[in-house]
């Protein structure tokens, strides 16, 4: 299947601002799915609300555009009733980790086979540039005109601590790496968390005087480095990119299946 077959052309042009990173994430994701050769009827994309969540409108998979912060809860329901399908959940940093933070932690902990994409632009884009839990201390936002005093946290560390069996990070600058990471994440049996640093030139960029979208992309090149690189040892403030966790542990739907079989067996033996 070609990339074109995976999109709903009737909904283009898309609504993202020019220079927004979300379209680059969509591009890398579609290339990963094409490389894996997955039939589009075998994919369910579930999203919440946000500029990032609008991705689900553009792909010709089974799609559910649900409510802000709850995409993983909906996706869990779909996956448990149709475990043979591939569940992909794109979320903004606000969607995934502010209102949806609790769902994120517990979906990771259960290790249900869902691919979660956290499109981290460090801002609430859709609602006008309010600061998010990932904006970071000292940044500017429409709701922090004198600078933000909230501290952020590391998404990779949070996902790892919550028990995700696949955890990775890349950026919209590193599209080749991002495509490869998406392939690994979708193929992984268990909960996969992929953080993507993606630019919102309209709010985060403008408020923080980060220049053009191209400037913001170049900054991703400068502020990140491959996991364990020499540059990281010399510059501890650099953000690492790559796959941090990739391990096999029991997957939730498979374990749930065993419980059902056991319960049925017990019920049968009690009936005789």
Ligand X SMILES: Cc1ncc(C[n+]2csc(CCOP(=O)(O)OP(=O)(O)O)c2C)c(N)n1
Nearer to ligand X, 125 or 213 (CB): 125
- Separation CA 165–CA 222 (nearest Å): 28
Nearer to ligand SF4, 56 or 121 (CB): 121
Nearer to ligand X, 104 or 124 (CB): 124
Residue 220 near residue 171 (C-beta atoms within 8 A): yes
- Separation CA 119–CA 121 (nearest Å): 6
Angle between helices 175-187 and 22-36 (to 10 degrees): 50
Counting residues that bind ligand SF4 (by CB under 6 A) gives 12
- Separation CA 69–CA 58 (nearest Å): 20
Residues that bind ligand X (CB under 6 A): 49-52, 68, 92-95, 99, 119, 121, 123-127, 132, 200
- Going from the C-alpha of 265 to that of each of 37, 257, 262, the distances in angstroms are 38, 12, 5
Nearer to ligand X, 165 or 171 (CB): 171
**DSSP conformational letter for 6:** G
Stretch that binds ligand SF4, among 17-25, 142-150, 189-197, 229-237 (CB under 6 A): 17-25
Q: At residue 2, what are phi and psi to the nearest 5 degrees?
A: -85, 160
Q: Is 203 in the site for ligand SF4 (CB under 6 A)?
A: yes
- Separation CA 218–CA 216 (nearest Å): 5
User: What token pair was written down for 248?
Assistant: 């096999």
Among ligand SF4, ligand X, none, the one that 17 touches (CB under a kind-dependent 5 to 8 A) is ligand SF4
Among ligand SF4, ligand X, none, the one that 68 touches (CB under a kind-dependent 5 to 8 A) is ligand X
| Shortest Å, Cβ 18 to ligand SF4 | 8
- Residues 25 to 64: which contact ligand SF4 by CB under 6 A? 51
- Site for ligand SF4, rule CB under 6 A: 16-17, 20, 22, 51, 121, 125-126, 200-203
């Amino acid at each position: 299947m070609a990339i074109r077959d995976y999109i709903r052309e009737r909904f283009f042009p898309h609504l993202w601002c020019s220079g927004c990173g979300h379209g680059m994430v969509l591009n890398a994701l579609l290339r990963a799915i094409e490389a894996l050769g997955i039939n589009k009827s075998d994919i369910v994309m579930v999203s919440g609300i946000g500029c990032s969540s609008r991705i689900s409108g553009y792909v010709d998979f089974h799609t559910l555009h649900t409510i802000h912060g709850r995409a993983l809860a909906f996706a869990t329901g779909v996956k448990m009733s149709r475990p043979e399908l591939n569940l992909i959940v794109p979320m903004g940093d606000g969607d995934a980790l502010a209102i949806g933070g609790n769902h994120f932690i517990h979906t990771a902990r259960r290790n249900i086979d869902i691919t979660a994409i956290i499109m981290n632009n460090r801002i609430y884009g859709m609602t006008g540039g309010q600061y998010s839990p990932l904006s970071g201390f000292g940044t500017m936002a429409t709701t922090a005109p004198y600078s933000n005093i909230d501290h952020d946290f590391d998404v990779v560390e949070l996902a790892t601590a919550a028990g995700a069996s696949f955890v990775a990070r890349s950026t919209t600058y590193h599209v080749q790496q991002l495509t490869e990471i998406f392939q690994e994440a979708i193929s992984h049996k268990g909960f996969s968390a992929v953080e993507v640093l993606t630019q919102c030139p309209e709010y985060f960029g403008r408020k923080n005087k980060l220049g053009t979208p191209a400037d913001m992309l170049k900054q991703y090149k400068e502020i990140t480095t491959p996991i364990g690189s020499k540059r990281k040892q010399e510059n501890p403030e650099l953000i690492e990119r790559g796959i941090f966790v990739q391990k096999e542990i029991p997957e939730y739907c498979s374990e749930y299946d065993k419980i059902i079989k056991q319960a049925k067996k017990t019920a049968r033996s009690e009936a005789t």
